[in-house]
Homo-oligomer: A and B are copies of this chain.
């Protein structure tokens, strides 16, 4: 990285969306300053930097400000393009990578979070939806037959779905639910093991015990509120 470059990430320690940005920068070998944001008491800086959504992650690169984790990943890949590449080069392979990242975000993340923050029939339905969507990811991984979604190394899709390897088991524990354990997901299980044991990932995960406490707290708050759905 050129010396004059300023790279900052506004984040929140337990957000899987923020970790995506950090993992991408680490894989690229880009130095950055991490700034912890209190998302429950948003700073004027966050509101100014991301006035539309007022959410983390926000990437600051010199004078440029980028929001939304997937959009930041594309920005990182296009900006530091000579380093480790996240998306494949072939347009069709790129389209497939974007497809699976979007699919997982819309079908797995939301359903799993809903499962965590609901009870009874609604919970059962959300667990079923999560498992059905995970099965699609399982099939895709089997079909590819590689170490990672990105081939023989971590790529865009691995970063996008990386939370499954570490956050989802915590949500299962906190929500007393069986998702990954309840089904046979051999390809996902092997991938999870490889993913969280990658040195750059392993060293960039929040402490599990703190996560359990945090998500128990969030779950209690959200399930006691009407329409308590809130992301993270």
Contacts and interface: CB of A to CB of B under 8 A. Distances in A.
Nearest to A63: B92
Contacts of A117: none
A80 to B, nearest CB: 9
Interface of A: 52-53, 61, 64, 66-68, 71-72, 74-75, 78-79, 91-92, 94-95, 98-99, 102-103, 136
Majority secondary structure, A binding face: helix
A227 B209 CA distance: 39
A98 B71 contact: yes
The number of times this chain is found in the oligomer is 2
A102 B72 CA distance: 13
A196 to B, nearest CB: 26
The 7 closest A-B pairs by CB, nearest first: A78-B91, A75-B95, A64-B92, A66-B95, A79-B91, A71-B98, A71-B95
A99 B67 contact: yes
A160 to B, nearest CB: 13
Contacts of A91: 75, 78-79
A75 B52 contact: no
Contact of A94 (B53, B61, B78, B99): B78
Contacts of A78: 91, 94
Contacts of A52: 99, 103, 136
Given A74-B94, A91-B75, A94-B75, A99 B68 contact: yes
A109 to B, nearest CB: 14
A13 to B, nearest CB: 24
A43 B102 CA distance: 24
